[in-house]
Amino acid sequence: MKKRSLIFYLFLSSLINTAAAQSDGLYDPNFAYVFDASLSNAKGLALQSNGKIVWGGGQLNVDGLYSDGSLNFTSYQSLASGELLSIATQADDKIVAVGMIQMGLEDSRIEILRLNPYGSYDNTFNSNGRLSLDPTPGFDYARSVAIQDDNKIVVACEFSAGENNSETVIIRLNSDGSMDATFAANGMFRIDVSSMWEMPNDICIQDDGKIVVAGQCTNPSVGRSGYIIRLNENGSLDSTLSGTGVFHTQFGAGCDVYDLAIQADGKYLLAGAYAVGYTHHYGLFRINPDGTTDLSFGTGGKFTYFLGTYDYGRAVEVQDDGKILFAGYHSSGYPNSSGVIFRLLNNGTLDPTFSDDGILITDLGYIYALKLQSDGKILVAGGDQGYGYGRVERFYGHKPDVTLNFDGTDDYVSIADNDATINAMTIEAWVYWTPDANTDIQFICSKSMEQMELHTAGGSGSNGIRFIPASGVYLDAYNVLPMNRWTHIAAVYDPSQALAKMYINGLETPLTNNGTNPLTTPVSNTTSDFTLGKRTGVGFNFKGSIDEVRIWNTAKTQAEIEADFTNTLNDYGQPELVAFYTFDQGMPGDTNTTDTLLYDTRLLFNGTLDNFALNSNTSNWIESYAMVIPQALPPDSISLTSFRARWNHPETGIVENYVLEVSHVSDF
């Protein structure tokens, strides 16, 4: 009996929601002003799904934000004399917050909360959503929390160990809040790494399941120093770190460590500060996985910086490209303080592409927490100057990718004729069409009446595109342009070959000539202005966004279009490229009243912005999500009843919505 082989071909169409960003280190004007006096000196910051944000401070109080910074929920515990020190979120968006509550002049207890995604107590955790631990008669703190893949909760704690002494304790809880008996001694690992105070300020879970804790301790012989503890999954010390499972920093006296990040290569970044006389300097230290100092980083394994008097590094994160974000605050004495963000190259030197010199001084008074969103934007939490009331701000973390939004009323770009002769042509553009109806006739571009024109609908019908390269040549593609989705259009015409083609997202779509003239009709090359966003001299204004417009004096092939339409084009050495508009100007949603030119990359055919408001999220420069699509790969795990779809993630942005089409033939 013959077996029939099934081969599935996949096509991933253009995305609806992706992420791009503006200039590195610029404040994000599309993020709401976030201030809450009840979350003073906010030290907790975490992300939920769909871009939602949770942050906390004050008396174990928590706020939830939508992705634009607007308020989602408040969850005020208002526990007197309490302090929130860390927040983490589970895969199901439940929130775990940890901290302490003062019980007396010389006593505090550990407090662990689990909240539902919208801030109410989760009664499946210890029956009421709260777990209180008071293991000693002295000061006890839960300083940091991390969530394992199995939803077990790991908490780094400081237990009192007598006068002027404390020890590091790591506890692991089952998802219901009970102690995990499979971890260390009945769910609790205890160690005394110094003879005085210990502060285990951060905890992380490695990809291999090992648990890493970093903090600072005090020892009479050397003063303050940083330390790392690494445990195996079962709670035993991992002796492959420094031979004992414990590493002490070797950066001298007065070293504080507040945060930990693990690079993709397993190296540890310790964020903190160190003392020089009566001042404190920023300090970021990098340690190899075996516990030795990474001497390839900065100077002698550390990056240091001094802005003056009191500088403290409090948070560190690693970008996908390996660059390092390091944040904290600078103070010259109360109430004068400023939150500061550094971005470093992977070798520990300042990144000059971030805020011009690698250093961004914000208008926060203090930064205690830092998180990277999946779109590369930078979130920081802390307090304002003076009283330290809770603040959250967001900054751009990647290079510019912006576009123009056309209001559909009177916005357009005019480009003066410059005697460029067009014979054969290819017009490429990314468009995001937001009409009032899918039958609206709106022009993407036009040189003059019936020359180099692309418009929607009309003779091409609902969601159609009409291409008019020359007089009387009406080339219609039916039902090819979706609303509210980035789509790439490439229109090709060569009268010398009687050739006309149209490609949507790199794939050819049928064209019908409904005009009175044949495909051999030459382009008239009038001296009229070329316009984007309306028909030259008439109207039919486009509503939506246009990006990455390329005008070629040649008929590009499908292979050439497919190779380049999702890539930033190098325009040098391409004589057939007449004009190229990247639209990478302005700041998204901000006041851009001085950015009134659209630049051709070679400055030969610059355009003028006409009638744009340039001060809001419409009729202005906005974030662009064009050119970000996944690449389909051959499927695997194929059987008669199922298969696994595969694709490469785009190099920039995030994939949130896409269309997956499946067929058993390759030319669908």
Tens digit of each residue's pLDDT (9 = 90 or more) over 239-290: 999 999 999 886 656 889 999 999 999 999 999 998 888 888 999 999 999 9
pLDDT score, position 664: 59
User: Can 41-395 and 402-623 be said to share one CATH topology?
Assistant: no
Contact criterion met (CB below 8 Å) for 40 and 390: yes
pLDDT digits (tens, 9 = 90+) for 343-386: 999 999 999 888 878 999 998 999 999 999 988 899 999 998 87
Q: How far apart are the first and last CA of the chain?
A: 29
E strand residue ranges, 22-92: 34-36, 44-47, 53-57, 61-65, 71-75, 82-89
Task: Name, in order, each residue with C-beta under 8 angstroms of 113's C-beta and a sequence gap of 6 or more.
Answer: 60, 62, 77, 95, 96, 97, 98, 121, 129, 130, 131
Fold of 41-395: Methylamine Dehydrogenase; Chain H (2.130.10)
At 308 the pLDDT is: 82
The mean pLDDT value for 544-564 works out to 95
Statement: residue 656 has pLDDT above 50: no
**pLDDT tier at 585, thresholds 50, 70, 90:** confident
- Whether the pLDDT of residue 18 is over 60: the answer is no
Nearest to 216 by CA among 263, 156, 133: 156
Q: Can you give the residue ranges of every domain in the chain?
A: 1-19+630-668, 41-395, 402-623
Q: What is the mean pLDDT of residues 616-634?
A: 79
Give the SS3 label for residue 562: helix
Q: Give the 3-state secondary structure of residue 606.
A: coil
Query: Please, which pLDDT band fits residue 234 given cuts at 50, 70 and 90?
Result: very high
What CA–CA distance (Å, rounded) separates 414 from 270?
53
Q: Is pLDDT above 50 for 652?
A: no
Q: Give the amino acid at 563.
A: A
**545 burial via Cβ count (<10 Å: 0-12, 13-18, 19+):** buried
Is the pLDDT reported for residue 557 higher than 90?
A: yes
In the predicted model, is pLDDT for residue 15 greater than 70? Answer: no
Q: Mean pLDDT over all residues of the chain?
A: 88
Q: What is the predicted pLDDT for the residue at 655?
A: 44
439-482: pLDDT as tens digits: 999 999 999 888 899 999 988 899 999 999 999 999 999 999 99
CATH architecture of the domain with residue range 402-623: Sandwich (2.60)
- What integer is the mean pLDDT of 293-299? 95
Exposure string of 57-94, with b = 16+ CB inside 10 Å and e = fewer, is: bbbbbbbbbebebeebbebebebeebbbbbbbbbeebb
Q: Is the pLDDT of residue 648 over 60?
A: no
Per-residue pLDDT at 136 exceeds 90: yes
Q: Tell me the backbone φ, ψ of residue 563, rounded to 5 degrees.
A: -70, -25
CA 326 to centroid of chain Cα atoms? 16
Smallest CA-to-CA distance from 164 within 132, 133, 196, 128 is with 196
The DSSP 8-state label assigned to residue 587 in this structure reads -
Instruction: Write down the pLDDT at residue 20.
Output: 35
Q: Which of 463, 464, 466 is nearest to 454 (CA)?
A: 466
| Residue 357 near residue 351 (C-beta atoms within 8 A) | no
CA pair distance 130, 126, nearest whole angstrom? 6
